[in-house]
Amino acid sequence: MNSTALRACWHPVGYSAEIGDQPVGVMLLDTRVVLWRDAQGTLHAHHDRCVHRGTQLSIGRIENNAIVCPYHGWQFGVDGRCIRIPQLDDPQRVPSRAQIETFRCIERYGLAWVALQAPRWPLPELPEFESGAYRVVRTGPFAWASHASRQLENFTDFGHFAFVHEGLLGNPRQAVVAPHEVQIDGAVVRYAYRRPDEPNTEQLPVFTTDARKESDRNTRYAIHLPFTIVEHIDWGGRDGMVYFFVSQPVSEDRCIGYCLVARNYNLDQPDTVMQEFESVIFGQDQRIIESQQPRAVPTDGDDELHMVFDKVAMAYRKALRDNSLT
């Protein structure tokens, strides 16, 4: 994929709650990024490479609102400028070239997001995740040896439920994928689907048991390019779920998926039930997706054999092409 174009998009780099008072090193599009919090708790992101001798700053520490390199103690402020070189007679006489690149960084929906260049699109709006009427569970993260585009596309794939997730999301005797329409709306691919629901399992009852529930689950999906998907589920009553899945493109053959699940029923159920359910589902998918060649989804159309029920994948790839992401 076009990594220059991908640099100009927001990508998740971790769950916010995991970033405390120590610097954290992450990898995004083959770029090492250091994340750290200043005294107010505001998150900052910089190139994770000291301008002096290339040391990783994320193995350093935070002191006086600055990140301190572990090798010779140079200090860098929130704007990436070096503010102190302890080896100089006057440690404050710092040359202007002594700075590290600063990246855009925000926290939203419980995730830290970084854009290596000015992002083309804003984050999707997810009122359910900020309303308080929903319980939001953070599942994963799911680190796979695959490209983020494969991890995202797998989330959209209806044909595999009956085979890969038998008894949890599908049934081999009902493998036929029902007709569905797909629309491309700029950088968003939308589609809806209705299918019979699998019964809850005893150990991991994550779906509604509301008596007013119809047997079918209705789902509305929106893929926000490049690697985010929002899925709204209902069963014809008031109970609803919203899945928010987004994949961090670590490199050409690595990604990390974050799957946040919001629901407005069973509000007392401990988060571990949903977390275990998703770790089973993602575990079933992982070995399949890591085996796919090529690593990233091919977008030239000739490399794979698509059927009419692969409509979503075809639309996703077209949208990536139309938006110059491939």
- Give the residue at shortest CB distance from Co ion: 285
3-state SS of 21-90 is CCCEEEEECCEEEEEEECCCCCEEEEECCCCCCCCCHHHCEEECCEEECCCCCCEECCCCEEEECCCCCC
Closest separation between CB of residue 39 and ligand FES, Å? 22
Question: Residue 35: which of Co ion, ligand FES, none does it interact with, CB under 5 to 8 A by kind?
Answer: none
What is the C-alpha separation between 98 and 62, in angstroms, rounded?
18
Least distance (Å) between residue 75 CB and ligand FES: 9
Query: Quick one: 85 or 313, whose CB is closer to ligand FES?
Result: 85
With CB under 5 to 8 Å by kind, the binding choice for 285 among ligand FES, Co ion, none is Co ion
> Are 270 and 255 contacting, i.e. CB atoms less than 8 angstroms apart?
no
Q: How many residues in the chain?
A: 326
CA–CA gap between residue 117 and residue 189 (Å, rounded): 23
Which distant-in-sequence residues (6+ apart) come within 8 Å of 25 by Cβ? 32, 33, 34, 35, 48, 56, 57, 58, 59
Q: Helix (H, G, I), strand (E, B), or coil: what is residue 282?
A: helix
52 or 160: CB nearest ligand FES: 52
First CA to last CA across the chain, in angstroms? 4
Query: What are the φ and ψ backbone dihedral angles of 168, each rounded to 5 degrees?
Result: -110, -45
CB of 15 to ligand FES, least distance (A): 28
Closest CB to ligand FES among residues 66, 115: 66
Residue 104 vs 287, nearer CB to Co ion:
287
* Shortest distance (Å) from residue 19 CB to ligand FES: 22
User: Which residues are CB-contacts of 187 (< 8 A; sequence separation ≥ 6)?
Assistant: 120, 121, 224, 225, 319, 323
Please report how close the Cβ of residue 50 comes to ligand FES at its closest, in angstroms. 3
Q: Which does 74 bind (CB under 5 to 8 A by kind): ligand FES, Co ion, none?
A: ligand FES
Output 78 or 169, the one with its CB closest to ligand FES. Answer: 78
Pick what 239 binds: Co ion, ligand FES, none; C-beta below 5 to 8 Å, kind-dependent. none
In the bound complex, what is the minimum distance in angstroms from residue 291's beta carbon to Co ion?
14
On the CB side of 229, CA atoms within 13 Å amount to 28
Partner from ligand FES, Co ion, none contacting 234, C-beta within 5 to 8 A by type = none
| Interface residues toward Co ion, by CB under 5 A | 285
Contact of residue 83 among Co ion, ligand FES, none (CB under 5-8 Å per partner type): none
Applying CB under 6 A, the residues found at the interface with ligand FES are 50, 52-53, 55, 69, 71-72, 74
